[in-house]
């Protein structure tokens, strides 16, 4: 992580960064490093961690909610009873299709509002879609690679494939026949598509290989890391 911000992204002003991460990254060592580097973050954390609120230490999943309250900001709290750190805490929840509440607990080092923090974290789901597409559609989940250099080559090929498919998708989005193509791959019962652009393009290419012609063959792919 230090190498990413100090070396790879050194030319970008720190104030432009807001790192978002899933709950597996919410350890105090990472929070310390990000604070040291001056990087803002919004990180989801696990429900079994404890925070100090209302005069005592409580598990996050034990904090009570009021009726149909959807989100709340606790302000700055102590996080992790055994090795506490001062962070801002926001909780948000929504019902799933079965009516059950799903609750997300998020940490931050900037005093954002509950809505602002929720919206900021929501931006990361395009990244999640990219991971899903790379693993399920482009074969990355099937790779069993021990050598780091070989893994980097495989990752580069996946990145190129994503760039090519996105290029085709961009051309498809502006085409007069776009609506007709989309009807081939999404449910007719839905008013909007839940598929990512890459997933749509992959499915369409399986139906009609002529869509490869939407790719601008004169484009040059710039894979510089600092972009």
Interval 136-189: pLDDT, tens? 888 787 878 888 888 888 888 888 888 888 888 888 888 888 877 777 776 655
**Tally of helices (H runs) and strands (E runs) in the chain:** 7, 7
CB 204 within 8 A of CB 179: no
Interacting residues of 132 by C-beta distance below 8 A, sequence separation 6+: 196
In the chain, pLDDT over 90 holds for what percent of residues? Answer: 17
Reply yes or no on whether the pLDDT at 18 is more than 60.
yes
Give domain 2-123's CATH number out of 3.40.50.1860, 3.40.605.10, 3.40.190.10, 3.90.350.10.
3.90.350.10
Cα 168–170–174 angle (5° rounding)? Answer: 115
Convert the pLDDT of each residue in 35-47 to its tens digit.
888 888 999 999 9
* pLDDT at residue 190, rounded to an integer: 55
39 is written with which tokens? Answer: 């990087």
Reply yes or no on whether the pLDDT at 33 is more than 70.
yes
In the chain, pLDDT over 70 holds for what percent of residues? Answer: 90
Mean predicted lDDT score pLDDT of the chain:
82
Average pLDDT over residues 55-59: 94
114 is written with which tokens? Answer: 């509950």
**What is the enclosing helix (H) or strand (E) of 170?**
helix 148-173
Tell me how crowded residue 167 is: count the other CB atoms within 10 A of its CB. 17
More confident site: 62 or 15: 62
> 127 pLDDT band (50/70/90 cuts)?
confident
Reply yes or no on whether the pLDDT at 221 is more than 80.
no
* pLDDT at residue 225, rounded to an integer: 46
Radius of gyration of the chain (CA): 21
Nearest to 72 by CA among 20, 124, 118, 18: 118
Tell me how crowded residue 165 is: count the other CB atoms within 10 A of its CB. 22
Distance between CA atoms of residues 200 and 187, nearest Å: 12
Reply yes or no on whether the pLDDT at 224 is more than 60.
no
- Domain boundaries along the sequence of the chain: 2-123, 128-214
Reply yes or no on whether the pLDDT at 223 is more than 60.
no
Q: For 188, how many CA atoms within 13 A lie in the half-sphere containing its CB?
A: 3
Distance between CA atoms of residues 74 and 108, nearest Å: 11
């Amino acid at each position: 992580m230090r190498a990413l911000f100090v070396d790879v992204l050194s030319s970008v002003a720190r104030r432009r960064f807001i790192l978002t991460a899933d709950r597996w990254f919410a350890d105090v060592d990472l929070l310390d490093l990000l604070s040291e580097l001056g990087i803002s973050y919004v990180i989801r954390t696990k429900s079994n961690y404890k925070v100090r609120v209302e005069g005592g230490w409580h598990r996050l999943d034990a904090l009570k909610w009021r009726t149909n309250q959807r989100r709340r900001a606790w302000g700055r709290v102590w996080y992790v009873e055994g090795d506490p750190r001062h962070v801002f805490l926001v909780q948000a929840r929504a019902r799933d299709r079965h009516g059950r509440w799903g609750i997300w607990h998020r940490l931050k080092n900037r005093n954002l509002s509950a809505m602002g923090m929720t919206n900021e974290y929501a931006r990361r789901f395009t990244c999640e879609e990219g991971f899903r597409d790379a693993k399920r559609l482009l074969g990355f989940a099937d790779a069993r690679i021990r050598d780091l250099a070989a893994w980097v080559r495989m990752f580069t090929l996946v990145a190129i494939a994503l760039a090519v498919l996105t290029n085709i998708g961009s051309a498809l989005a502006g085409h007069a026949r776009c609506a007709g193509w989309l009807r081939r791959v999404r449910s007719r019962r839905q008013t909007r598509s839940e598929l990512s652009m890459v997933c749509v393009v992959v499915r369409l290419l399986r139906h009609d290989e002529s869509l490869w012609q939407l790719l601008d063959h004169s484009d040059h792919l710039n894979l510089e890391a600092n972009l």
